[in-house]
Amino acid sequence: MKNCLTILVSCFLLSVSSLAQSDSIFRHLRTMKGDIIEFTVDNLDNIYVLNSRNQVKKFNANGDSVGIYNDVKKFGQATLIDVSNPLKILLYYKDFATVVMLDRFLNSVNSIDLRKQNTLQAKAIGQSYDNKIWVYDEMENKLKKVGEDGKVIQETPDFRLLLGIAPSPIKIFDENRYVYLYDSVYGVYVFDYFGALKNNIMIDHWQNFKVAGKYIFGSRSDTLFRYEINSFRLDEWKMPEQIFKSKAFNFSSTRLYALKNDAIEIYSFR
């Protein structure tokens, strides 16, 4: 079963394509300065910033401010911002096991206390294609889909029975009819919408992991990776020093966003 579900390492390695190691691959577009602790971007290149006051601010692709979420005292520090649907933003507060839903202007529209449904240890969440929420419950070792009332709609079997291990995914993405769970040690587990395991992509120890469209992006040290899901092709670029020494990266299909101490540098890359 493992051999059927795992992309063969030999095929994976043969698919690697090392592109030209030139700084000209990355073209600087602009700089966005401000009080920035963490950030993410959606598929329309809107930027969502978490600042030191725990506010969430939204900027459009031109850098104009278009929304702010100020209700920051209830749940402490947000640990995750999911913007896979620009019309419905999810904030996750791990310490309170609470998900807050925002509209596209960052107005609060709902909140879910996962503890009320006995989901006590959720490390990662992600928005589903039908506007429900994927949750990985580390206590039960299950991937669950919950509704806006927090009730479980469906769930997988215990992963310890399904996989023989207990993964600890740090990211969940719902993209193009599949759900991707990323564990930095065991790689990417791919499920269909019925919770059936379809694949295990042997990508591990990547930082800044993100599934966007037909690609999986990530980085390690001074190298930027882009994995094409359908063809198994892995492209990699050596980043110049001024980029790879950034605090964090994020990606859209054609842009690289690099977080500095007080700014986000935006680059195009091929």
Residue 21 pLDDT: 44
Contact 36, 51 (CB under 8 A): yes
CATH of the domain at 160: 2.120.10.30
Residue with tokens 């740090």: 170
Tell whether the torsion through CA atoms of 228, 229, 230 and 234 is positive or negative: positive
pLDDT above 60 for 13: no
pLDDT at 87: 94
Give the pLDDT confidence of 138-155 residue by residue, as tens digits: 999 999 999 988 899 999
Residue 243 pLDDT exceeds 80: yes
Query: In DSSP terms, which residues pair with 258 in a beta bridge?
Result: 249, 265
Residue 41 domain boundaries = 2-269
When the pLDDT of each residue in the chain is averaged and rounded to a whole number, the result is 88
Q: For residue 253, which of 176, 170, 141 has the smallest C-alpha distance?
A: 176
At 247-265, the pLDDT tens digits run 999 998 889 999 998 999 9
User: In this predicted structure, what is the pLDDT of residue 121?
Assistant: 87
Question: What residues contact 181, with CB distance under 8 A and at least 6 apart?
Answer: 124, 136, 143, 167, 169, 171, 172, 188, 189, 190, 191
Question: How many CA atoms lie within 13 Å of 191's alpha carbon, on the beta-carbon side?
Answer: 24
Strands 122-127 and 133-137: antiparallel
What is the total count of domains within the chain? 1
Least confident of 25-29, 70-74, 199-203, 228-232: 70-74
pLDDT at residue 24, as a whole number:
66
Q: Order of strands, edge to edge, in the sheet holding 223-228?
A: 16-18, 233-238, 223-228, 215-220, 207-212
Task: With residue 113 as reference, give the H or E element that holds it.
Answer: strand 108-113
Strands 207-212 vs 56-59: parallel, antiparallel or unpaired = unpaired
Each residue's pLDDT tens digit, 15-51: 444 444 445 689 999 999 999 999 999 999 999 999 9
**Residue pair 63/30 in contact by the 8 Å Cβ criterion:** yes
Looking at residue 246, its pLDDT comes to 96
Contacts of 135 (CB under 8 A, 6+ apart): 114, 119, 122, 124, 125, 143, 144, 145, 146
Question: Which range is least confidently modeled, 12-16, 102-106, 178-182, 203-207?
Answer: 12-16
Q: Which residues make Cβ contacts (< 8 Å) with residue 102, sequence separation at least 6?
A: 56, 69, 88, 89, 90, 91, 108, 109
Q: Looking at the predicted structure, is the pLDDT value of residue 120 above 90?
A: no
Residue 253 pLDDT: 83
Mean pLDDT score, 234-249: 94
pLDDT at site 118: 87
Token pair 């994976």: residue: 12
Share of the chain above pLDDT 70, in %: 90
**201 Cβ contact list (under 8 Å, min separation 6):** 7, 187, 188, 190, 216, 227
pTM: 0.88
Contacts for 113 with CB less than 8 Å, ≥ 6 apart: 96, 97, 98, 150
Q: How far is 211 from 90, CA to CA, in rounded Å?
A: 17
What tokens does 173 get? 């993405």
pLDDT higher than threshold 60 for residue 223: yes
